[in-house]
Amino acid sequence: MSKVITDEARALIDAGLGTMTIAVDKSATRKYASAIRFPNAPEPRYYDADAAAKTKWGGLIAPITFTTSIPWLGPILEKVNPSMGKYRVGLNGGQEYEYHAPIRPGDVLTAYPKLAKLEEKPRDDGGVMLVMTLQCDVTNQNKEPVLTARQTLLRIYGPENLE
């Protein structure tokens, strides 16, 4: 029997939680490229069309970590949090990014966030640790997959948080 995973939360696993659309702007990718290389100059493949055309990507691409700026976690947590009760502490359990194709300036991305998994693990103090896996599949304007992002969140529930 589950101590913190409610039927309401369980019903959200793999359920569609809406979509969000993100236009990838050339100036935004250049600013991001500059920020991650500061004080050095950004790599030309992110802002110089002629230099980028000579790369294996054949044109401008967004820096690979640009996708960390997609705000996909909020819609999931807004739906999940009310059903999970008060917890003692929350921790980041890690991120995972699986890239399927380059993201380019001018792309229009559609993000499909979802709650992928909930798992409880017992703790020695009588509480539980909730392992929550969130996932976002992202496609471009051609409906081609470009990214699968996963975020693991850990929530520690002490005995005082359990009913």
d(CA 52, CA 3): 53
- Amino acid symbol at 79: K
**Residue 72 pLDDT:** 86
In the β-sheet with 20-23, what is the strand arrangement from edge to edge? Answer: 20-23, 108-122, 128-139, 145-157, 89-99
Q: Mean pLDDT in each 10-residue stretch from start to end of the chain (163 residues)? A: 89 90 91 89 90 93 88 85 87 95 96 95 94 96 97 93 79
Spans of all domains in the chain: 7-24+71-161, 25-61
**Residue 163 pLDDT:** 67
**Residue 42 pLDDT:** 87
CA distances from 52 to 46, 68, 106 (A): 7, 22, 15
**Residue 105 pLDDT:** 95
Residue 100 Ramachandran class (φ > 0 left, ψ -120 to 50 alpha, else beta): alpha
Contact 18, 113 (CB under 8 A): yes
pLDDT in tens, 34-50: 998 889 888 888 989 99
**Residue 110 pLDDT:** 96
* CATH number of the 7-24+71-161 domain: 3.10.129
Q: What is the DSSP letter of 43?
A: P
d(CA 163, CA 159): 8
